[in-house]
A = this chain, B = another copy of it.
Amino acid sequence: MKKVTINSVASHAGVSKKTVSRVLNNEPNVSVATREKVLAVFKELDYTPNPIARGLAQNRSFIIGCLYDNPSKSYITRVQTGALAACQENNYNLLIHPCEFRGEALINNIEQLLQTSRLDGIVLTPPFGDFAELVNFLKSKKIPYARVASAILEDDSISVRSNDEQGAFEVTEHLISLGHKSIAFIKGHPDHSATQQRFKGYRRSLASHGIEFNERLVEEGNFSYHSGVDSARSILDLSPRPTAVFASNDYMAAAVLKLATQRQLRVPDDISIAGFDNAPIARHIWPGLTTIAQPVEEMTKQAVTQLISHIAQPQDEPFQVILESRLITRESTAQVKK
């Protein structure tokens, strides 16, 4: 079983390599008869072009890098699923790059990644889309990039996100509609732009109902389960205890639930709990968590699709999309008790 290359196809079809190449790339100036002859030989020999040779000739790798640093494994796999879908449709490969660096070290790490892997483009998942230093570096190196779920907007860039502010607003509205007035809030990681957005949504809802904002009800978390435990402790120790807790993601919400349960509090009778993200854990625990579902796969897929088309043919127009998220109510929130 010999290897099938563009040369074997060319000699079988009785044309030159170049003509085969033209057919492969759908270039103009090939007669219909020739094109069909070549296509027939493709079928006959079961030919697939060698992406490595193609890459060498075009100085491309057909690889997109996906940068992430996220405590939520389910978020990571959702991002990967979306990115992979876009890559497969376009004959690209996806190189995953978990990365916990910040600042200077981050730039060095990415520089090395680019040197050794020759990526054609990079998808920045939270929080990397929010790091101006990194983005400027990519820009200076002329590496195409796309942002997923970042609130930062630039004039000429690719960005797909959902409306975190609005999502948080809706959760808070939901709690208020159940009669809650004392609603604690656990913030996310300060590096993530989503953290500010979700906090803003919470405050906007309070304000729109004339509920005074109380700083003592706000805790600083970092999206990890562990930080949720710490924040939960402070919140549950408050007196009077708030009647509801809104955590910026489901892991922290799950931590609140765990601690509350350990302390013999009944959820949602004694205290309501809401999260954000609709992570699997939100439905794997009892009671299930009220939360916001975002189309993470779809966001990433659109971002990567756009990134690849930008690589093939650079455009000047920005591509900025905001997808809808939706409130999912489960058992962890209920009418406040008198």
Would you call A261 an interface residue if the criterion is a C-beta within 8 Å of the partner chain's C-beta atoms? yes
Complex CA gap A283/B258 in Å reads 10
Would you call A255 an interface residue if the criterion is a C-beta within 8 Å of the partner chain's C-beta atoms? yes
Q: Which residues of B are found within 8 Å of A91, using beta-carbon distances?
A: 116
Would you call A177 an interface residue if the criterion is a C-beta within 8 Å of the partner chain's C-beta atoms? no
Complex CA gap A281/B255 in Å reads 11
Would you call A168 an interface residue if the criterion is a C-beta within 8 Å of the partner chain's C-beta atoms? no
Nearest-neighbor residue (CB-CB) of A250 within chain B: B284
Q: Across the interface, do B48 and A52 meet the contact criterion of CB distance under 8 Å?
A: no
Q: A42-78 interface mask toward B, CB cutoff 8 Å, 1 = contact, 0 = none?
A: 0000001011110110000101000000000110110
Would you call A9 an interface residue if the criterion is a C-beta within 8 Å of the partner chain's C-beta atoms? no
In the complex, which of the residues B50, B73, B77, B115 contacts A280, with contact meaning CB atoms closer than 8 Å?
B73
Q: Which residues of B are found within 8 Å of A285, using beta-carbon distances?
A: 254, 258, 284-285
In the complex, which of the residues B74, B118, B251, B262 contacts A52, with contact meaning CB atoms closer than 8 Å?
B118
Known contacts A51-B117, A91-B116: does B286 contact A284 (CB below 8 Å)?
Answer: no
Q: Across the interface, do A284 and B225 meet the contact criterion of CB distance under 8 Å?
A: yes
Would you call A217 an interface residue if the criterion is a C-beta within 8 Å of the partner chain's C-beta atoms? no
Q: Across the interface, do A84 and B56 meet the contact criterion of CB distance under 8 Å?
A: no
Q: Which residues of B are found within 8 Å of A53, using beta-carbon distances?
A: 56
In the complex, which of the residues B52, B63, B80, B255 contacts A93, with contact meaning CB atoms closer than 8 Å?
B63
- Restricting to A235-265, which residues have a CB under 8 Å from any CB of B? 251, 254-255, 257-258, 261-262
Q: Across the interface, do B118 and A51 meet the contact criterion of CB distance under 8 Å?
A: yes
Complex CA gap A286/B232 in Å reads 14
Task: Specify how many copies of this chain sit in the oligomer.
Answer: 2
Nearest-neighbor residue (CB-CB) of A288 within chain B: B258
Complex CA gap A261/B63 in Å reads 47
Would you call A81 an interface residue if the criterion is a C-beta within 8 Å of the partner chain's C-beta atoms? yes
Question: Per DSSP, are chain A's interface residues mostly helix, strand or loop, or mixed?
Answer: helix
- Restricting to A82-132, which residues have a CB under 8 Å from any CB of B? 84, 91, 93-96, 98, 115-118
Q: Which residues of B are found within 8 Å of A51, using beta-carbon distances?
A: 116-118
Nearest-neighbor residue (CB-CB) of A93 within chain B: B95
Q: Which residues of B are found within 8 Å of A63, using beta-carbon distances?
A: 93
Q: Across the interface, do A251 and B284 meet the contact criterion of CB distance under 8 Å?
A: yes
Closest-CB distance, A268 to chain B (whole angstroms): 14
Q: Across the interface, do B56 and A116 meet the contact criterion of CB distance under 8 Å?
A: no
In the complex, which of the residues B56, B77, B117, B254 contacts A284, with contact meaning CB atoms closer than 8 Å?
B254
Nearest-neighbor residue (CB-CB) of A257 within chain B: B286
Q: Across the interface, do B81 and A93 meet the contact criterion of CB distance under 8 Å?
A: no
In the complex, which of the residues B50, B115, B225 contacts A118, with contact meaning CB atoms closer than 8 Å?
B50
Known contacts A50-B118, A94-B96: does B84 contact A77 (CB below 8 Å)?
Answer: no
Complex CA gap A117/B52 in Å reads 9
Leading 6 A-B pairs by shortest Cβ distance: A258-B286, A73-B73, A73-B77, A48-B115, A73-B74, A52-B55
A-B contact pairs, 22 of them (CB 8 A): A50-B56, A50-B118, A51-B116, A51-B117, A52-B52, A52-B55, A52-B61, A77-B77, A80-B98, A81-B98, A93-B93, A93-B95, A93-B117, A251-B284, A254-B285, A255-B284, A257-B286, A258-B284, A258-B285, A261-B286, A262-B286, A284-B285
Q: A80-B96, A251-B284 are in contact. List 13 more A-B contacts (CB 8 A).
A: A50-B118, A52-B52, A52-B55, A52-B61, A52-B118, A73-B76, A77-B77, A84-B96, A93-B95, A94-B96, A225-B280, A254-B284, A284-B285
